[in-house]
Amino acid sequence: MAMTLRLTDEQAAALRETAEREGRSMHETVVVAIGEYVSKREQKRDALIAKIMDEDREALDRLGSV
């Protein structure tokens, strides 16, 4: 899927510098950053769900038997 990404001059400069430092294209750097962001969000969500399940086990069990 094609899309347009609008960056400020500062963001574009930071992206260019990062891409050059890591030996990647700007496109590849953005794709990697999105993958890392999504993965971290999924990990945070899963950890939060596990915490809720653990802390509220009794209440969830009661709700499940209603």
The number of folded domains in the chain is 1
Residue 33 to residue 52: CA distance in whole angstroms: 29
What is the identity of the amino acid at 66? Answer: V
Which residues lie closer than 8 Å to 2 by C-beta, 6 or more apart? none
pTM of the model: 0.64
* Residues spanned by the domain of 56: 41-66
28 belongs to a structural domain? no
> Any idea what DSSP says for residue 5?
-
pLDDT at residue 66, rounded to an integer: 63
pLDDT at 10 over 90: yes
60 belongs to a structural domain? yes
66 belongs to a structural domain? yes
26 belongs to a structural domain? no
Q: What is the mean pLDDT of residues 8-22?
A: 98
